[in-house]
Structure 1
Amino acid sequence: MQGLMNWLEKYIIPVATKIGNQKHLIALRDAFIGTMPATMAGSIAVLLNAFLRDFPTNWGWTGVVKAMEPIVAVNGFIYTGSLAIVAVIFSISLGYNLAKAYHVDPLAGAVVSIAAFIMGLTQTAETSLTLSQKLPANVISLIEEAGGTVTDGTTIGAKAWGFFNFGTHMGGSGLFTAIIFGFISVIIFSKLMKANITIKMPDSVPPAVSKAFAAIIPACVALYTAGIINYGFATLTGMPMIDWITDTIQQPLLHLSQGFGSVVLVVFLIHLLWFFGIHGDNVMAPVLSTIWGNAMNQNMNAFQSGAEIPYKWVSGTFNAFVWPGGSGATLMLVAAILVFSKRADQLTVAKLSLAPGLFNINEPVMFGMPIVLNPLYMIPVILVPCVTAGITYFATMTDLVKPVVVSVIWVMPPIINGFLATGGDWHSIILSIVNLFVGFLLWTPFVLAANKMNLEENN
């Protein structure tokens, strides 16, 4: 065991530490965190509509649905301004945090990032109308002269400029494009700002005006670069770059994220880092937010519109079921200590950690027990969440439990978290209880071993 720990400390932990301190990844992580005010508001709106409209409709409570129509309509506005345009919101947050990491004007960075993202969106909407009867030839000619199309004499097609595609580009499906063009544009902007390739104003000019003028040249270069990339790609391939990114990069990664190996690998790495005192959730946040967070947003959009849920494993699944009480499922360690421990030191820490643990705050037990760098607890802190991930994976992939479709704030207590996250699926309660029980069973032998170790040390 000691040899393994030495090897990990020598080769793995330095790499993980560098990754955790990498400014671009920190900016990406903080960008996702920065969207939380909007995404949580949108999640609450989606959840309320599920309980005020969707469930009563399924139960035949038409009177309740009718009475709740004003609230449902307001929730619709909240959803439109949050989850429906989450890629736009994220683009602003990424530009701000990335410019901040480079120590240049963060507001200008946010403006550059959103401009670079918006310029790549398609602006033409297409629609069609199928008729029950075939149109006469003269009517078809009139439609085609006006710029429309007629197929088989029964289907009328038309398109118009000036319409952004909410569902395809501005929601969760546009996140990868926002990330790519946010990084390209803001890094160029920041490098030019740091090189002082700017318009310098006299000291007498107000600071706000001076900052704005200083950002003009870097912003122009950054945005023209993004524009040339979009134009060149569309000219060579005949398709918008945002659609290519979605089909070629985003979808394969999302498909890969649904595999059992991907899920367990991420859970393993998070808790291995935790054992060495590194906040595993923060280090892996760029992966969790970019891939599984994207799937989460698409699930919420589908749930709001009543469409088929596209992904069964999303970022919210980890918080709802895999690690109740925080990373390592340490709430069950606290419970096992309170039931079986004979060590006064661990009992004291467990009592102090119980209340925070109910709200998924596990730092008191991680560092107070401690679990960090404690060889006895290395195995369970990694094993328990891997096992609960396996149980959850089986339950969701076999449709025993509905997928997570609502983003619930991470401090929501276990069981309640899963119920709300799945949009009110009562099967989630059973899954949460099973995972809590399994976690308790797996932690207990190590608590008993700690008792024996304490007895031997006293002797």
Structure 2
Amino acid sequence: MSENNNKSSFVNDRLVPFFGKIAGSRHLIALRDGMTLAVPMIIIGSVFMIIAQFPIKGYQTFMANTFGSNWATIVQYPTNASFHIMGLIAVIGISYNLAKSYKVDPISASIVSLGAWFLTIPLNTDKAGALWVPLTQLDSAGLFTALLIGLFITDFYVFMVHRNWTIKMPDSVPPAVSNSFAALVPGFVILFLMWLLRLAVEASPMQSIPNVISFVLAKPLGLLSNTLPGALVAEFVVCILWIFGIHGANVVSGVMQPIWLAAMSQNAEALKAGKALPNVVTQQFFDNFVHMGGSGATLGLAFMIAFVAKSAEFKTLGKLVIGPALFNINEPIVFGLPIVMNYRIAVPFILAPLVNVTTTYIAMSTGLVAKTVGVMVPWTTPPIISGYLATMHISGAVLQIVNIVLDGAIYYFFFKALDRDKVKEEKTFAAKEAAGETVEA
């Protein structure tokens, strides 16, 4: 008993505060919230991509005969417009949220960060000598640069503002004007230093700042995240954090979502170009094939609570959890069963999504199931529908069914043990109540 108390004390006093501090990190929150701003635009672009790339030959023939052979390119104009500003949204969103957390004018900070980011982008020259910005630098190719600029430049901007390296205006000046002048000195210092850095890098073999960042960080992290071990580690961390009551998906996605969104964008570009899809592990890989029912792959568990449970308490809970679970919302299960701090259900909560990662990765990498095509299917889309839309192929829906069955099998024996104990508790409670004994709540 003492040993269990010591373990519980260690978890509550050490681990939970530690992970809670990580989850509450202003930089992690800024990354998460900044990248979330891009999601609506990606979903909008994905709708037009589905219209253009819907994988039925008769549909494609009908549309080409009706609207001309170039119809798909025209339909995907909004897709290009939304996907090709991913980096732009990221640098503004991250800088805005980070500056706001420091209580520094977020608009001025995000504008300075945007200018610093554009200073890193290599320009191209056409035959007439005109300069132009390649769109690829504004989307997934420039995303990692945008993330780093959004974080580090904003921190440097805040550093200067907090030390009053600014131009102070009288109180009678409107706030908008005052904030603009306050950004003048920090903005000049930042852009001047970024200009010097660009000149230095252009004189080196790397030629551009995005090339340096890609070589040092983006490519190694991208290669690691697009492997089965990398995906398993990311998912394991998500589940472990949830066991301690911390929203694991928010913590991990704050770090990994930019990489997974970039992989998604690369698949979308390959699809439009008619090339083989390069990436298995994308945002849709996790949203639509691993987290069915929510983190912990709890849809199979929700079905058992609703239809297999014998205890009155779990039967009542089942009526409450099955609806949200179909839309991948599992807080009623996580806190109602509960799963948080319930080490009897922790093993399947961790194991089920890891099995989903493994089956999905193997199925997609071997060609048994189509890879995700870069369509951003909202995570609340029910399974089977989301599997088809994410892969543009019936095999995606079939894989989801297989994963749900496997998840249910993994949870079955653990849940049945909980259910048996709960039935015994209810019988004991009822017997004592019938005998007129005092029953502890």
CA contact (8 A) 2:85 2:139 kept: yes
TM-score after normalising by structure 1: 0.87
Q: What is the alpha-carbon distance in structure 2 between the residues aligned to residue 323 and residue 8 of structure 1?
A: 25
1-structure distance, mates of 2:387, 2:134: 32
Q: Is the 8 A contact 1:313 1:396 kept in 2?
A: no
Question: Letter of the aligned partner of 2:171 in structure 1?
Answer: D
The one-letter amino acid of 2:198's match is N
Q: SS of the residue aligned with 2:170?
A: coil
Query: Could you tell me whether the CA contact under 8 Å between 2:28 and 2:255 is conserved in 1?
Result: no
Distance 1:193 1:68, change over 3 A: farther
Would the aligned equivalents of 1:27 and 1:97 in 2 still touch at CA under 8 Å?
Answer: yes
Matches within 5 A, 1:142-161: 160-161=129-130
Alpha carbons of structure 1 residues 199 and 66: separation in structure 2 relative to 1, 3 Å: farther
CA distance 1:9–1:392, change in 2 (3 Å): farther
Q: Which residue of 2 aligns with 1:65?
A: 64
Q: Kindly tell me: are residues 65 and 38 of structure 1, through their superposed partners in 2, closer, same or farther at Cα, counting changes over 3 Å?
A: same
Q: Mean alpha-carbon deviation: is it higher for 298-307 or for 277-286?
A: 298-307
Task: Show the counterpart of 1:33.
Answer: 36
Question: How does 1:198-209 map onto structure 2 within 5 Å?
Answer: 198-209=166-177
Partner of 2:438 in structure 1? none
Check the 8 A contact 1:325/1:360 in 2, yes or no. Answer: yes
CA distance in 2, matches of 1:173, 1:111: 21
Shift of residue 328 of structure 1? 1.1
Structure 2-normalised TM-score? Answer: 0.90
Tell me the distance in 2 between the aligned counterparts of 1:416 and 1:5: 41
- Paired residue for 2:390? 421
CA contact (8 A) 1:171 1:298 kept: no
Q: Structure 1 residues 311 and 445 mapped into 2: Cα distance closer, same or farther (>3 Å)?
A: same
Change in Cα spacing, 1:262 to 1:8, as seen in structure 2 (3 Å) is farther
Q: What are the residue-to-residue correspondences of 1:116-265 with 2, within 5 Å?
A: 116-125=116-125, 160-167=129-136, 169-237=137-205, 239-265=207-233
User: Gaps (5+ residues) in structure 1?
Assistant: 127-157
Alignment of 1:202-351 (within 5 A): 202-237=170-205, 239-351=207-319
Residue 282 of structure 1 and its aligned partner are, at CA, apart by: 0.7
Counterpart-to-counterpart distance in 2, 1:285 and 1:116: 25
Do 1:181 and 1:226's aligned partners in 2 also have CA atoms closer than 8 Å? no
Equivalent residue, structure 1, for 2:420: 452
Distance 1:49 1:181 in 2: 34
Confirm or deny: 8 A CA contact 1:185 1:223 kept in the other structure.
Answer: no
User: Do the aligned residues in 1 keep the contact of 2:306 with 2:322 (CA within 8 Å)?
Assistant: no
Q: Distance in 2 between matches of 1:159 and 1:178?
A: 30
Task: Give the drift of 1:84.
Answer: 1.8
User: Is residue 186–residue 222 contact of structure 1 (8 Å, CA) maintained in 2?
Assistant: no
- Aligned residue for 2:350, secondary structure, equals helix
1:376 matches 2:379: no
Letter in 2 for 1:65: A
Judge conservation of contact 2:266–2:278 (CA < 8 Å) in 1: yes
Q: Deviations over 1:200-225 (max 9, x none)?
A: 11122122111111111111112222
Asked whether the 8 Å contact 1:124–1:160 carries over to 2, the reply is no
Report the residue type matching 1:433 in the other structure: I
Which position in structure 2 is the counterpart of 1:131?
Answer: none
Does 2:406 align with 1:438?
Answer: yes
Deviations 1:378-404 (A, max 9, x none): 111111111111111110111111111
**How far does residue 236 in structure 1 lie from its aligned partner after superposition?**
3.4
Measured against aligned partners, the alpha-carbon deviations of 1:226-257 in whole angstroms (never above 9, x if no partner) come to: 22222222223351111222233211211111
In structure 2, do the counterparts of structure 1 residues 101 and 74 end up closer, same or farther at CA, with 3 Å as the change threshold?
Answer: farther
Listed as ranges, the matches of 1:393-404 within 5 Å are: 393-404=361-372
Query: Residues 5 and 322 (structure 1 numbering): CA distance in 2 closer, same or farther, change over 3 Å?
Result: farther
The 8 Å contact of residues 49 and 75 in structure 1, kept in 2 or not, is answered as: yes
Aligned length: 422
Deviation digits for residues 284-303 of structure 1 (CA, Å, limit 9, x no counterpart): 11222122222112212222
What aligned pairs does 1:91-102 form with structure 2 within 5 A after superposition? Answer: 91-102=91-102
Percent of aligned pairs with the same amino acid: 34
How far is 1:73 from its partner?
Answer: 5.3
Give the unaligned 5+ runs of structure 2.
429-441
Residue 107 of structure 1 aligns to which amino acid in structure 2?
I
Map of 1:358 onto structure 2 = 326
> Counterpart amino acid of 1:418?
G
Task: Report the Cα offset of residue 6 of structure 1.
Answer: 5.5
Q: Secondary structure at the match of 1:387?
A: helix
Q: Over aligned residues, Cα RMSD in angstroms?
A: 2.1
Show the counterpart of 1:149: none
Q: 1:237 to 1:64 in 2, by over 3 A?
A: closer
Q: Which residue of structure 1 lines up, in the alignment, with residue 107 of structure 2?
A: 107
